Structure 1
Amino acid sequence: MKKQRGESSPHGPLPGTTRPEISVRGSAELADALPYLLGFQPDDSIVLVALHGQRGRFGGRLRIGIPAAPDEWPAVADQLAVCLRGNSLAGGATPQGALLFLCREPADGEKGQDVMERLRPLAQRLRVACGALDMPVFEALCVSDGRYWSYCCPDPTCCPPEGGPLSRPGASAVAASAVYAGIRVRGSQREMEARLKPLGEPLRGPQERALDEAAAALVPHMLRRADREAAVGRTLRLARQLMERLGAASMAGGAPGQAVADAQDDALLGPEEAATLIVGLQDRAARDRAAEWMEGRDAAGALRLWRALARRCVGAYGEYAVPLLSLAGWIEWSSGDEPAARVALCRALETDPRYRFAQLLHRACNEGLDPELLRRCMRQERAVRRRKRRGRPRTVRRNAPRVLRGGA
């Protein structure tokens, strides 16, 4: 089997670009190519990739977590097939087929082959769902415990029953071609999600108590129309103050690794001020204003702050992380880090599937829209406010892309 990969856009190479292509032949190279398709190594995931043209150019791709309950698999399979086809058509390309990857590590006492057999009904249901939409699944792989298995290939010489070994990270021909093409892998999905997960003890208890107090004190003012604008202003001023604090510490301490940097940021935030800001950013107006910190030094400081605050959404306040995860995903997408953006936005939608802001950003990111359209709209909104403060008439026209208009 020979497939080609160009630009890491959801719909393949963009018009007018001439990025190097990566040719992939056979199941082993497809398994090795998976992290380069997404930009990270997925875990506990279903991954579907659309194929276009006679040479099987990689197109749109979808990733979601594997549902824990097998009785949910048929509905999820049907929905994924519809979404993959719909996203491809929205980008102007009709998919001629699909690739399927099921990724899950063995539980205690399990082997990779046990995982493969347990997920076989899910693979079959996904193949049927895609085939019903004229997207035959040309290869379906299970990736587990450092090995891969094919659900499609009956030839034991290339796809043995005990599975084929995955290449060491960075050691395969696919990896070499990806490096030449400028495609990089950010690490594992688990590592990226760890930067966004709630903190444990000893910080969890004091933080949850601080959130209780902040919610009781702030929510009445946020709901009262006369107080709302002042509450938004206080929230944004505090956010700016904390961004500057994190930025000053970063400049003084050099460039530590991710885990060290996150621990440093956690130590710089007190429970009370973090709680005040978390509650304040539940307000849609405050969130939308905060989203304007999307460029230059503002973007780097804001991203660190949103991640740190998401980690502070502990205990009963887990859903309070959704605006913060959405803001982090927006900055990452705006900055060109689509893999990290998808992880943050997926986590937001797993927590609250109906959160409109995350839905719209996730869809725009997956459909390959240019984030400059939204950045331009936000700059115009900022200019409108400045004119209002100066008493000038409103003359700036809003022209946000339609897909990105929406509420909470």
Structure 2
Amino acid sequence: MRVRDQGELVAAIPAMLGFHPRESLVLMATGGQSGRRLGLTLRVDLPPPEIAAYAEHAEVVAASAVRGLLLDDPAGAVAAVLAPSTGDPPSLPHRRLAGLVAQALAEREVDVHALLWAESTTGGARWACYEPCGCWGLVPDPAATEFVVATVAEGRVVHPDRDALERLVAPADPGALRRREELLLRSDAGGAPGDTGAAALDTAIADAAAGRLTLSDTRVVALASALGIPAVQAAALQRSTGPRAVAAEQLWAALARETPDPEAAVPAALLAVSALLRGDGALANVALGRAERAWPGHLLAGVLRTAAEAGLRPDEVREWLREGLTMEPAPAPRATRRGRRSA
């Protein structure tokens, strides 16, 4: 699929990130044989323009973003500032930041294909070039662009904003979580046998694939206990790369919401694996944040955080799985859960 102009580049950003960013600097790496194949796409918050130390903040933001983009060893790059502006023609905001990004990329011999401003990534939003060409236009309807249509058809979900990603893993009803916590406290510490746990996992994935997944207290507790078994964890990682990977990802997200802490760290980490296998760094970071809050120091979450920050490609993550990447071998101590509940 080809992106034909600057407006289509802006429209493509949500499809690359997985959500519509706001008040953001977005960098898109290009490479491949042509040097123009879209690769790593990253986003950072813009420095508040009203602060006295804006210049210093802009330097930090530009340096951090370019350093992250270089992990993809790009031949070129596209930079876009997404922020509201006024006037007709608009007064382009964050010129200093845009200049710093262009300078940092040039110093590293990375061609800047486009240096853009857009007020948003939605259809009809205005965009313009910071460069002397003075190009400007309107962002096309993403649903009418070949690139975005093809990306969504492949199963990519584009959320309205980053908060929507957070809601995918946000803890569910506190009352339900308390009930399940009590059930986990009373359950057998050893959990179900590995083959029984794997079977329960497969049944839940099949239900997710058929659109009939329901998570009662009993089922959540059974799945959480099963995922505390190393053999079931290994099976879960395999399901994240198999023919039902999409359904498995749906199950991990649901369990990340419906499982009490600290057990929620396991499905949240599995969700991060699924996201990294699709190249969805935004969802991976949100899922890892959920895992780290649920279980500080969780082994797999820590390993995956390193992978996410290193910008590993999906094929490299798959290689990790083939080499036997494993999770924390034992469930969280019951004393830890009791301590958190009484705190």
Distance 1:111 1:275 in 2: 53
Structure 2 counterpart of 1:66: 45
- Counterpart residue identity of residue 62, structure 1: T
Q: Does 1:274 align with 2:213?
A: no
SS in 2 for 1:348: helix
Q: Can you list the C-alpha shifts for 1:8-61, whole angstroms capped at 9, x where unaligned? A: xxxxxxxxxxxxx62634x3343234345x174542354322234896513531
- Counterpart residue identity of residue 311, structure 1: R
Distance 2:31 2:166 in 1: 34
Structure 2 counterpart of 1:5: none
Residue in structure 2 matching 1:176, options 140, 146, 168:
146
Q: Does 1:98 align with 2:83?
A: no
Please report how far the alpha carbon of residue 269 of structure 1 lies from its aligned counterpart in structure 2 after TM superposition. Answer: 0.9
Please report how far the alpha carbon of residue 347 of structure 1 lies from its aligned counterpart in structure 2 after TM superposition. Answer: 1.4
Distance 1:215 1:103 in 2: 46
Please report how far the alpha carbon of residue 84 of structure 1 lies from its aligned counterpart in structure 2 after TM superposition. Answer: 2.0
Structure 2 counterpart of 1:30: 9
Q: Does 1:342 align with 2:281?
A: yes
Distance 2:248 2:33 in 1: 44
Q: CA RMSD in A?
A: 4.6
Per mean C-alpha deviation after superposition, the further-off stretch among 277-286 and 120-129 is 277-286
Identity between Structure 1 and Structure 2 (%): 20
Q: Does 1:81 align with 2:66?
A: yes
- Counterpart residue identity of residue 84, structure 1: L
The aligned runs of 1:368-387 (5 Å cut-off) are: 368-369=314-315, 373-374=319-320, 377=322
Q: Does 1:324 align with 2:293?
A: no
* Mapped contact 1:42–1:103 kept (Cα < 8 A): no
Q: TM-score under structure 1 normalisation?
A: 0.57
Structure 2 counterpart of 1:140: 115
Distance 1:321 1:47 in 2: 31
Q: Can you list the C-alpha shifts for 1:96-133, whole angstroms capped at 9, x where unaligned? A: 432112446x6xxx9799x9866555444433443443
- Shift in alpha-carbon separation, 1:207–1:53, aligned structure 2, 3 A: closer
- Shift in alpha-carbon separation, 1:141–1:321, aligned structure 2, 3 A: farther
Gaps of 5+ in 1: 1-20, 89-94, 222-229, 252-260, 378-399
The aligned runs of 1:134-213 (5 Å cut-off) are: 134-135=109-110, 137-145=112-120, 146=122, 147-150=125-128, 152-156=130-134, 158-159=135-136, 164-171=137-144, 175-176=145-146, 186-190=156-160, 193=165, 196-198=168-170, 204-213=173-182
- Shift in alpha-carbon separation, 1:96–1:65, aligned structure 2, 3 A: closer
Aligned length in residues: 308
Q: Can you list the C-alpha shifts for 1:372-403, whole angstroms capped at 9, x where unaligned? A: 6456x3xxxxxxxxxxxxxxxxxxxxxx2xxx
- Shift in alpha-carbon separation, 1:184–1:126, aligned structure 2, 3 A: farther
Gaps of 5+ in 2: 49-53, 329-343
Please report how far the alpha carbon of residue 170 of structure 1 lies from its aligned counterpart in structure 2 after TM superposition. Answer: 3.0
Residue in structure 2 matching 1:307, options 236, 250, 253:
253
Structure 2 counterpart of 1:256: none
The aligned runs of 1:209-248 (5 Å cut-off) are: 209-213=178-182, 216=185, 221=189, 230-231=190-191, 233=192, 237-238=196-197, 240-241=199-200, 243-245=202-204, 247-248=206-207
- Shift in alpha-carbon separation, 1:167–1:274, aligned structure 2, 3 A: same
Please report how far the alpha carbon of residue 348 of structure 1 lies from its aligned counterpart in structure 2 after TM superposition. Answer: 2.5
